Amino acid sequence: MIDADDLIELVRNYNPKTNEKLIRKAYAYGLEMHDGQFRQSGEPYFTHPVSVAAILTEMQLDDATIVTALLHDTIEDTRSTYSEISKTFGKEIAELVDGVTKLTNLQLSSAQTKQAENFRKLFFAMSKDLRVILVKLADRLHNMRTIKSMRLEKQVQKAHETMDIYAPLAGRMGMQWMRDELEDLSFRVLNPEGRNSILRRFITLQRETGDVIQKITRDIRTELDKAGIEADVYGRAKKPYSVWRKMQEKDQGFSRLSDIYGFRVITQSEADCYAVLGAIHQRWRAVPGRFKDYISQPKSNGYRSIHTTVSGRDGKRVEVQIRTREMHEVAEAGVAAHWAYRDGQRAENPFAVDPAQWIAALTERFDNAEDHDEFLEHVRMEMYSDQVFCFTPKGEVVKLPRGATPLDFAYAIHTRIGDSCVGAKVDAIRVPLWTRLKNGQSVEIITAEGQRPQATWIEIVATGRAKAAIRRSLREEDRQRFEKLGKELARVAFEHIGRRATEKALTTAAKHMGLADSGELLARLGAAEITARDVIRTLYPDLPDKQGGEIDSAHAVVGLKGEQSFQRAPCCQPVPGERIVGITFRGKGVVIHAIDCPALEEYEHQPARWIDLRWHSGQHQPVHDVSLDLTISNDAGVLGRLCTQIGEQKANISDLRFVDRKPDFYRLIVDVELRDTEHLHAVMLALEADSDVATIDRHRDPTRKL
């Protein structure tokens, strides 16, 4: 284990003015708190926080971050508390340690909804102080380096989590070295044979061709000496996972893969970068389409460099990155360069981005996401996307993720431009809106007054900003139609209980349901986000659910044993009057299916779970949801009239959703609350008789489960 003196020396190497007393105090405190604790490898637990601190010294971070690394597990795993750390080390360090603790407790899951919520929390924690995530990334890196001591299933879980979340996050923050190592360590766990095969092929290649890296490095240095350019040249073979990913993406074998070596030229000035580029292109032929100038068009995390791929020695493709020393520091540390030291001073690197501005730009578009899936979609787009740079007709640069379309370009300029887009020209040629843009193209957006976004645009665009704007516009456009539909649904529901849907009643209901006004309530009612029954129950909580002589819905089935509870199967939605059978479930009671439900085949070989049931005779309550599949004319007033007809049959609409919309017809699923099969037939007959109903069927979904 690194002792306190060695750790302080690592910090003093880049920050001679370090607060040695503070680091030594944190070291002693952490050692005391973790005394008697051991890692699964058998080592003292404190070896882990010290190793995390050492990783952060490689990034030349400030004292507060180093101290946080030493203490990052104390609140979670020892008797230490936030208040004690705040009192001993100050509020700044206590906040950082608490932030890391909260990130650790997120328990990031592969379940999509939960993962989206965890990403939201993760970005919130980052927004308070980005150093929290730097400590967490270093923590994960050390855990991955020592992962072999874990159980195999735990290794696989952590490797997946690292590959899905932490590695791309490190890349997004500009710490490509950390992303490469995290991916490769995960690759070692998830596909050890694949990784070993890449390493074996590298060894074979080196045996056959000699040390290619040393030869090409010497060739580049020779060309720079001829041009009189002072620069450092470094070469390396790419990480096994990077090579494997290229093989999968290009569907090529190792022998056909060309750019498996990477070289870096570090210059004294920006002008020298372009001089190096000229010297390399004069000596070797450039590969078309493999040139990127991130100096003139930097990435959002501050990354600047020139990338070019050339056909080098023996025709092998070689990628060369060219940048200045300051650019290299940002390329290595990414956003963390904001806290880095150089020559004993806090480095004022002109290329380092302000972390507050970076995280604000990253999270800005996430604020408009209305559900977990949409938020997660935005996160993945931001984390994994490379960038393309396109130009407006006036020569202004627009940054977009790879795969972006002219619609994304339009929305990147202004939401109004995107909403009114009717076409686009790329390099002066008219192209479809789904065209994928490439680096350096000039894009002109054609707009028309009165144009509105189409629902199909959501599938075309690639940016979260465009998707959010399109969804928002579609919601606004639908609001008036939903309000009208909601008004009709409310009228029918209120008449069903002998009351009127007055403006005062609707406003009161909206207030109690936490909605802005009656218009918002009607729009949500029409969009099936709330049901008419919700509104009625809000206003009249004491209104009885049944009338005299009706069978209690909780005791509507005969044949259950003792206090067995039952639920209707959502796949077949059985109603009184149909033959039924029960299937027992541990923890769910009995699930009732119609006797002809296809889902029953699943239980054919489990006869012990079957129960013979029947409905009580008599009048049942109208509480049994049945889904109806309707295709109706797309004409004014049709939907409202059909809702009225359902209400006239003393049935309540509990939900309504559109499945397909065409210029002349709508297809929709209507959930209706019914008493029994006779009630169902009466409703279907009334609707079928309407001339604007093209088809009507009972909708059953065998894939629906409880």
Ramachandran bin of 129, using left for φ above 0, alpha for ψ from -120 to 50, beta for the remaining angles: beta
In angstroms and rounded to an integer, the radius of gyration of the C-alpha atoms of the chain is: 33
- How far is residue 476's CA from residue 273's CA, in Å, rounded to a whole number? 51
Nearest C-alpha neighbor of 609 from the set 599, 620, 619: 599
Q: Cα 217 vs. chain centroid, distance in angstroms?
A: 41
- Active-site entry in 76, 117, 374, 629: 76
Nearest C-alpha neighbor of 630 from the set 578, 550, 699, 540: 699
User: In the structure encoding, which two tokens stand for residue 370, read together?
Assistant: 């209305």
- How far is residue 248's CA from residue 252's CA, in Å, rounded to a whole number? 7
- How far is residue 270's CA from residue 551's CA, in Å, rounded to a whole number? 84
Annotated catalytic, 314?
Answer: no
Q: Cα 362 vs. chain centroid, distance in angstroms?
A: 13
DSSP assignments along 502-536, one per residue: -HHHHHHHHHHTT-SSHHHHHHHHHTTSS-HHHHH
Annotated catalytic, 419?
Answer: no
- Active-site entry in 63, 77, 259, 629: 77
DSSP assignments along 334-403, one per residue: GGGGGG-EETTEE---TTPPPHHHHHHHHHHGGGG--SHHHHHHHHHHHHH--EEEEE-TT--EEEEETT
- How far is residue 642's CA from residue 630's CA, in Å, rounded to a whole number? 10
- How far is residue 409's CA from residue 68's CA, in Å, rounded to a whole number? 42
Nearest C-alpha neighbor of 31 from the set 13, 61, 59, 7: 7
- How far is residue 288's CA from residue 310's CA, in Å, rounded to a whole number? 9
Q: Cα 223 vs. chain centroid, distance in angstroms?
A: 46
State which H helix or E strand residue 290 sits in: none
- How far is residue 458's CA from residue 407's CA, in Å, rounded to a whole number? 10
Active site residues: 76-77
